[in-house]
Structure 1
Amino acid sequence: MSTTFTLDTSTSRANPTPTPMKRLTVPLIQGRKFEGRTDEPLVMLTAYTARMAQLLDPHCDMLLVGDSLGQVIYGLPSTLAVTLDMMCAHGAAVVRGSFHSVVIVDMPFGSYEASPAQAFHSASRILSETGCSGVKLEGGEAMAPTIRFLTERGIPVMAHIGLTPQAVNALGGYGARGQSQEEHAKILADAKAVTDAGAFSMVLEGVLENIAGAVTRAVDIPVIGIGASADCDGQVLVTDDMLGMFDRVPRFVKRYHEVANEIVDAASQYAADVRSRSFPTPDQTYQPK
């Protein structure tokens, strides 16, 4: 039996209630790709808070606690300043707020690159403190030994290749990858290397569409696209981008709503009511009995 959290309206705090539903597992996710194809694409979105996890969980196969929280939540210029403490805190919140999806937590920059032993120390901390199902790390062939080291010790790993935001300084920006034959070959080699190392799936970000299709066909683990191709085995987006929380819209994002406009409208109406003393009314205040 899994545990989810519902809001106690008397205290406005999250309280656990048992839910008779088993959480999806890493083997079930990996098994969705059979004989080179995934009949029903996998759905993945980012979540950073318990409440957002509650809302997204029924619709997703996986929830990603991405290091994108550095920009989305903390207003940082990139993901490079995100810490392990941040990832653990937000990862635990998302696990508490979900009961169905596999929760994957990003390993932040500097927490795994030095050695497989460093990566194991960081990943084991993430799993033990959050209760998540696995970790995600960036890098292809160079990180394959680390992926193997982790998976052989019982830590499920989702790889991340193509455009890798933690390497933005080395890449020279966020442009699409695969423009040259050399890059095309490297992306394919990276995909095969992380698969052979034991990754249960991979995120393929910001690559040309034909390369995304070639990678998806070349490996037997699910390929989750973001700025890639509809032919991938699944898709992931930053939820706040999909909801229209920011003015900038990356090319690969489809905006399904304009939540920011609704927040602005609500805040404007609230401010007007406060300034005109039309809020609170007797309905929102406590009267003598």
Structure 2
Amino acid sequence: MGSKITVESIMGMKGKKKIVAVTAYDYTTARICDRVGVDIILVGDSAAMVMLGYKSTTPISMEEMLVFCKAVSRAREHAMVVADMPFMSYQISMEDALYNACRFIKEGNADAVKVEGGREFKHVVEAIVDAGIPVMGHIGLKPQTAPLWHGYKVQGKVVDDASRLIEDAVAIEEAGAFSIVLEQVTYEVAEMISSRLSIPTIGIGSGSSCDGQVLVLHDMLGLYEYSPRFVKRYADLSSIIAEALTRYRDDVLNARFPGEEHTFHMDAKEYERLKATSIAMDAMRSERKNQEQKGGGERGEESINK
């Protein structure tokens, strides 16, 4: 796998090598992602849904995102870690945006942050980049606010919408982003944006013309109940896990687990000593109990006589 992936590495892949990105939220899965040679591990705000059970990405907080980011950062050796700026972490003020971006770098040990939005957040991207923090853009479908407007719909199906997306992409590049995610954008528009920008595009549901691809790990592994149409399932781990848990449950109920191979034993001589000690202790307890009962009876008689 070689040395650690950097911003320069990702930008250098443009037009030469496809970028492989995937989400992860915990140490164990991030470790696997890193070992197989994934270029970017995105600590996505999709954790709100697949890890915390929320109905959308909107509710997740900075504190929750930082927990996931720290876990992923501890796991990686080669991959670049990008942290998703959650809703309300950059929309209210520039101070909030800079402070929260810095927290992801300082506390979360991330390499970059991802900012969702187009031209309306160009100034935010510029400020974060000026502060020395690499930014990955994100346009097209914007999950943080999509439920408030028109839902999770494909973007760029008509000329006006397509033109807006192209302008958004150019604005984010001009702001200094090192790459940009295109989510659920039509193939034609994604291809046009990818050819126009000098920075890499990373698609999710936006076709093969992008410079790289990203998927939510739980979607591609079949761990989440719902998967978008654009997801290719590479495994059905939900069924595999359910089968394993069913076997475990049955083994416990039928006393097949734990078996002898899972059990630890004392040395035989030590066990004999323990039994002898236990017998002596039981005898002492029994004697003490008898004495307490006898003493209680005597005190009761004295009380009656008085």
TM over 0.5: yes
Q: Say if 2:4 is the partner of 1:23.
A: yes
SS at match of 1:247: coil
Match for residue 230 of structure 2 among 237, 252, 255: 252
Q: CA deviation at 1:116?
A: 2.2
Q: Say if 2:52 is the partner of 1:51.
A: no
Structure 1 distance, partners of 2:2, 2:194, is 31
The structure having more radius of gyration, on CA atoms, is: 2
Flag the structure with higher strand content: 1
The verdict on how the C-alpha distance between 1:171 and 1:217 changes in structure 2, with shifts beyond 3 A counting, is farther
The list of structure 1 runs, each at least 4 consecutive aligned residues, that deviate by more than 2 angstroms after superposition, is 246-249
**Post-superposition CA distance 1:235-287 (Å, at most 9, x none):** 00001100111232211100001111100000000011011111111111111
The residue aligned with 2:100 is 122
Q: Say if 2:193 is the partner of 1:215.
A: yes
Q: Say if 2:187 is the partner of 1:206.
A: no
SS at match of 2:172: helix
SS at match of 1:202: strand
Q: CA deviation at 1:115?
A: 2.4
Runs of at least 5 residues in structure 2 that lack an aligned partner in the other structure? 268-306
Q: CA deviation at 1:168?
A: 1.2
Q: CA deviation at 1:21?
A: 5.8
**Post-superposition CA distance 1:166-221 (Å, at most 9, x none):** 11134320011112211111100000000000000010001111111111111110
**Alignment-mate amino acid for residue 43 of structure 1:** V
Taking the TM superposition and a 5 Å limit, the aligned residue runs for 1:68-87 are: 68-87=46-65
Structure 2 distance, partners of 1:119, 1:168, is 21
Match for residue 60 of structure 1 among 13, 38, 57: 38
Structure 2 distance, partners of 1:188, 1:109, is 23
Match for residue 13 of structure 2 among 6, 21, 32: 32
SS at match of 2:144: helix
Runs of at least 5 residues in structure 1 that lack an aligned partner in the other structure? 1-19
Q: CA deviation at 1:23?
A: 1.6
Structure 2 distance, partners of 1:119, 1:53, is 26
Q: CA deviation at 1:117?
A: 2.2
Paired positions, count: 266
**Post-superposition CA distance 1:10-60 (Å, at most 9, x none):** xxxxxxxxxx96321112211222xxxx22100000010011111011320
Taking the TM superposition and a 5 Å limit, the aligned residue runs for 1:233-252 are: 233-252=211-230
**Alignment-mate amino acid for residue 274 of structure 1:** V
Structure 2 distance, partners of 1:138, 1:123, is 13
SS at match of 2:202: strand
CA contact (8 A) 1:123 1:155 kept: yes
The residue aligned with 2:239 is 261
SS at match of 1:135: strand
CA contact (8 A) 1:21 1:99 kept: no
CA contact (8 A) 1:79 1:166 kept: yes
SS at match of 1:160: strand
The verdict on how the C-alpha distance between 1:21 and 1:217 changes in structure 2, with shifts beyond 3 A counting, is closer
CA contact (8 A) 2:7 2:134 kept: yes
Q: CA deviation at 1:84?
A: 0.3
**Post-superposition CA distance 1:133-190 (Å, at most 9, x none):** 0000100100001101111110100000000101113432001111221111110000
Taking the TM superposition and a 5 Å limit, the aligned residue runs for 1:79-228 are: 79-228=57-206
**Alignment-mate amino acid for residue 207 of structure 2:** S
TM normalised by structure 1 equals 0.90
**Alignment-mate amino acid for residue 130 of structure 2:** E
Match for residue 279 of structure 1 among 257, 270, 275: 257
SS at match of 2:86: coil
Structure 2 distance, partners of 1:42, 1:199, is 16
- The root-mean-square deviation of aligned C-alpha atoms, in Å, is 1.2
Structure 2 distance, partners of 1:126, 1:243, is 27
Flag the structure with higher helix content: 2
**Alignment-mate amino acid for residue 49 of structure 2:** Q
The residue aligned with 1:14 is none
Percentage identity across paired residues of the two chains = 38
